[in-house]
Structure 1
Amino acid sequence: MDIDDIWRAIDAQRTRVADLLDDLTDDEWRRPSLCAGWTVRDVAAHLTLQQVRLRDAPRVFRTLGGMNTMIREAARRRAATGSPAGLTAEIRGMIGSRRRNFGVTPYETLIDILVHGLDIAVPLGRDLVIPTDAAAVAATRMWTMRWPRPIVPRRRFAGLRLTATDVDWSVGDGTPVEAPIAGLLLLVGGRGEAALPHLTGAGAADARARLN
């Protein structure tokens, strides 16, 4: 996928996530997401903060602490001030725009919309289409990135070969662990518990043990 393809994939997934959010009940908006300590509403609010300009960063990410703390608290503040309909409208409003947060590439923007879409859909038992080609690009980015620091260090999967069953994608060397690319995206994205039911292959039990 080239950069144009990536932005088209981002737009398509923003549309799917917004459609999903439009269909949620008030109770579902309040439920826990796959992100520990984040509600579905918090995750949706985070997805509205994908075009923060450098000049606005001190206002948006004003909480003291590490990067994860600043991101979490910014999402919670946004969730507290935005209605479900308003948050969904903001996500839709980004479709067609190529603005992105300062200091990140389109690859990280793609990761955010794919993984956080799953953070919302999976715990609610909702279906969300994850395009395999885009998911493979995102998974490769997470596997190879050095900065920002990867969510799950590659050494955790030493001696295992992760292989997608629905797209041409493999990383690592060793005993095979297989899953649909969406499951592997959850795995390398630090959502191991959600990924576990999808893992098969001779190395699946080893992978499960490493995540427990």
Structure 2
Amino acid sequence: MDEQQMWQTIDAERAATANLLASLEEDQWSTPSLCEGWTVREVAAHLSLAHRIGIGGAIVEYAKALGSFNRVVDRTARAEARRPTPELVAELRSAVGVHKTAPGQSIKNALMDVMVHTQDIALPLGIERHMPIEAAVVSAEDLWRMGFPFHARKRLAGHRLVATDADWSAGEGAEISGPIQALVMLLAGRTATIPKLTGV
């Protein structure tokens, strides 16, 4: 995928996820997501922030969090999650067409982020959403290479990951195979899609 195609996919995923969120009952926003310690509301809040955080704001947040990336992500999501539900949906809708990454984030990171977090919301609610195959391949490769914060290569050392519906594989050792979407979630540290994989 080239940069334009990645942004088109990010826009489509943001729009679809905003529609999904808008369709939820208020009590569904309190459903625990696949992100440990976060409900659907915190994940939605996190997604609504990516295009709005500038370098100045990021520096301030890092100072408050004593330099911890994880604390920055958690603090900002929880603060944003206090906003009314319609505002969170509107903010995510407003991100469509804004082709700007968060400080320190690549476009591949942004693509992976929106696709994984959409699954973090949808799967616990029993809602089926499909990642675009080509974009999922880009995200799998990004997750395999990036190291922090997922450390996929370290966690999955001694295994070879093989997609059964796409031309993608990585690693060496005992084979773990399945749909590329399930592999992306495994690479991102999620366990919800393990039943769709063989060899885990």
TM-score class, shorter-chain normalisation, is over 0.9
Structure 1 residues 166 and 120: alpha-carbon distance in aligned structure 2, compared to 1, 3 A threshold: same
Structure 1 residues 73 and 186: alpha-carbon distance in aligned structure 2, compared to 1, 3 A threshold: same
**In the alignment, is residue 195 of structure 1 matched against residue 193 of structure 2?**
yes
Question: Contact 2:29–2:41 at 8 Å: present in 1 too?
Answer: yes
Q: Tell me the equivalent position of 2:179.
A: 180
Q: What is the letter of the counterpart of residue 8 of structure 1? A: Q
Question: Contact 2:152–2:188 at 8 Å: present in 1 too?
Answer: no
Matches within 5 A, 1:87-126: 87-126=88-127
SS at match of 1:24: coil
Question: Contact 1:160–1:173 at 8 Å: present in 2 too?
Answer: yes
1:150-190 residue CA offsets vs partner (Å, 9 max, x unmatched): 41341332232111121111111222211111110110001
Aligned-pair RMSD on alpha carbons? 1.5
SS at match of 1:171: strand
**Alignment equivalent of 2:70, drawn from 68, 71, 80:** 68
Unaligned runs of 5+ in 2: none
Structure 1 residues 59 and 84: alpha-carbon distance in aligned structure 2, compared to 1, 3 A threshold: farther
Q: What TM-score, normalized to structure 2? A: 0.93
Q: What TM-score, normalized to structure 1? A: 0.88
Structure 1 residues 150 and 67: alpha-carbon distance in aligned structure 2, compared to 1, 3 A threshold: closer
Q: Tell me the equivalent position of 1:144.
A: 145
- Mean CA deviation greater in 164-173 or 180-189: 164-173
* Residue 113 of structure 1: how far off its partner (Å): 0.2
Structure 1 residues 44 and 115: alpha-carbon distance in aligned structure 2, compared to 1, 3 A threshold: same
* Residue 132 of structure 1: how far off its partner (Å): 1.0
Q: Tell me the equivalent position of 1:210.
A: none
* Residue 58 of structure 1: how far off its partner (Å): 4.1
Query: Which whole-Å CA distance do the structure 2 matches of 1:113 and 1:28 have between them?
Result: 19
Q: What is the letter of the counterpart of residue 41 of structure 2? A: R
Q: What is the letter of the counterpart of residue 18 of structure 2? A: A
**In the alignment, is residue 24 of structure 1 matched against residue 24 of structure 2?**
yes
* Residue 138 of structure 1: how far off its partner (Å): 0.6
* Residue 59 of structure 1: how far off its partner (Å): 4.8
Matches within 5 A, 1:4-23: 4-23=4-23
Question: Contact 2:143–2:152 at 8 Å: present in 1 too?
Answer: no
SS at match of 2:49: coil
SS at match of 1:86: helix
Structure 1 residues 155 and 60: alpha-carbon distance in aligned structure 2, compared to 1, 3 A threshold: closer
SS at match of 1:168: coil
Structure 1 residues 63 and 33: alpha-carbon distance in aligned structure 2, compared to 1, 3 A threshold: farther
